[in-house]
Structure 1
Amino acid sequence: MSDEAPPARAARTAAVIPAAGRGVRLGPGAPKALRALNGTPMLIHAVRAMAASRAVSLVVVVAPPEGAAEVKNLLDAHALPERTDYLVVPGGETRQESVRLGLDALPDGITAVLVHDAARPLVPVDTVDAVIEAVRDGAVAVVPALPLADTVKQVEPRPGGEKGEPEPVVATPDRATLRAVQTPQGFDRDTLVRAHTTVTGSVTDDASMVEQLGEPVVVVPGHEEAFKVTRPLDLLLAEAVLARRRANDGF
């Protein structure tokens, strides 16, 4: 009989990309995730960004409820790494519901989950790998984030959300203690499933759901190219980043 301990179960990581939103701030037209960036839908860039990590074995795309077949055809039409599997599932009415549906589709054996915004198509693979490594090192929830460059003011919003009206400042938080959060956010699978099972109400990201469980959330360095494309100006910036990558790296 060998005295050696049995090998630990290999950690397997999946990425869930909720892409069911319409992105009204980009104006009318196709859903935000299907808008073209350098001739390729943003969703494809986001999927490739997750699949660029050798640790990611599965990417689950949560499509608009009536557009799952269209998104499946889109993935089939673009070159994606062969080492990564892909799955498309219909989403829900909210981002939170869509992420839960993506989690429900994960097969057994997945131990870590990334949740990534389709609207962050240019996140570098080093950032993805840093999040995964932190989860594999024992963190149950990991978010990439950047320090704030601007001073932040806490204000008292006007009743009814009136635009253009002056709002009184109530505090100036110390920006040294603040971070701008990005994705992919990484999680121990069981912890994230528990969060989606027990936490109700409106949340801004999955990490905040884990916080409500009382579980620790840690931050790793984000990247300036992992910005969210929400406005027409962001599309221009994303095109510029891709042009620079092509020039420097042959991307």
Structure 2
Amino acid sequence: MPDQPRPPRTAAVIPAAGRGVRLGPGTPKALRTLNGTPILVHAVRAMAASRSVSLVVVVAPPEGAPEVKRLLDAHTLPERTEYLVVPGGETRQESVRLGLDALPEGVDIVLVHDAARPLVPVETVDAVIEAVREGAPAVVPALPLADTVKEVGPAEDGGPEPVVATPVRSRLRAVQTPQGFDHATLARAHRTVTGEVTDDASMVEQLGPGVVVVPGHEEAFKVTRPLDLVLAEAVLARRRANDGF
């Protein structure tokens, strides 16, 4: 019998080195609790819920890796999923690169997931992975915009900002995570692209390979402000009532 091809191995990198200033002073955002469990633990569990994900690398605050390791050790995670904790850098881009550096050989697909998106459904994670497996070098989950968007220019003398354009809303998408990548493509982007970027997909865009979109999910919102914590608690309560989650 000929050897069967090895299924692609998928790992997730979760940068969690930020302070989350918009949630106020104190504990870093990823370590705030949601239904009594740190947001970071929810995010790790969301990645581990996919049977395709065999490793999760958490990039911790530079001085906080031991604390984050103890935190994850204290919470139940799927036994089939390994996890590592590595110290992060001064920027998100540097932290993701450090997470990539920690990946072992044999990882073909990499997910990069915001620690502040704790409730992304497994169906969204699997859809991103499947699109990479089918040949896309970079995949982002995204939702159509409900609001009209205005492009504005700088205000003059403290006055109101002038509107300079109204983009066509039907062509705009609000991008979420996890974003999925061919490992080699993402590693090349982090080696060659400089300057500030808002997400990893925009780095790959600068290389030239096409980035594609799969449907996102309303529950994959980012917990950034205090109201988001209230919404996240409501989602968890609904899941417990409907699914026993």
Of the three residues 73, 97, 101, the one matched with 2:94 is: 97
Is the aligned partner of 1:112 residue 2:113?
no
Q: Which residue of 2 aligns with 1:212?
A: 206
TM-score by length of 2: 0.98
Equivalent AA in structure 2 for residue 175 of structure 1: R
Instruction: State whether structure 2 residue 229 is matched by structure 1 residue 232.
Output: no
How far apart are the structure 2 equivalents of 1:158 and 1:208? 27
Give the Cα separation in 2 of the matches to 1:206 and 1:31.
Answer: 22
The Cα shift of 1:166 comes to: 1.2
Partners in 2 of 1:166 and 1:234 — Cα distance? 28
2:79 equivalent in structure 1: 82
Displacement of 1:137 after TM fit? 0.6
Query: How far apart in 2 are the matches of 1:92 and 1:131?
Result: 26
Runs of 4+ in 1 over 3 A off after TM superposition: none
Partner secondary structure for residue 72 of structure 1: helix
Unaligned runs of 5+ in 2: none
1:72-99 alpha-carbon deviations (Å, 9 max, x no partner): 0000000000000000000000000000
Deviation readout 1:182-202 (Å, 9 max, x if unpaired): 000000000000000000000
What is the alpha-carbon distance in structure 2 between the residues aligned to residue 53 and residue 159 of structure 1? 50
Which amino acid counterpart does residue 134 of structure 1 have in structure 2?
A
**What fraction of aligned residue pairs are identical, expressed as a percent?**
83
For 2:230, the aligned partner's letter is: L
Does the alignment pair 1:72 with 2:66? Answer: no
Q: For 1:1-251, list aligned pairs within 5 A.
A: 4=2, 6-158=3-155, 165-251=159-245
Cα shift at 1:8: 2.1
Deviation (angstroms), 1:159 = 6.7
Q: CA RMSD in A?
A: 1.2
Q: TM-score, normalised by structure 1?
A: 0.96
Question: Which whole-Å CA distance do the structure 1 matches of 2:21 and 2:148 have between them?
Answer: 28
Question: Residue 114 of structure 1 aligns to a residue in which SS?
Answer: strand
Matches of 2:200 and 2:182 in 1, distance apart? 12
Distance, in Å, in 2 between the alignment partners of 1:8 and 1:125 is 25
Structure 1: 5+ residue runs without aligned partners? none
Mark the CA change 1:159 to 1:57 in structure 2 (over 3 Å): closer, same or farther: farther
**Number of aligned pairs?**
245
CA apart distance, 1:108: 0.5
Shift of the 109–159 alpha-carbon distance from structure 1 to 2, 3 Å rule, reads farther
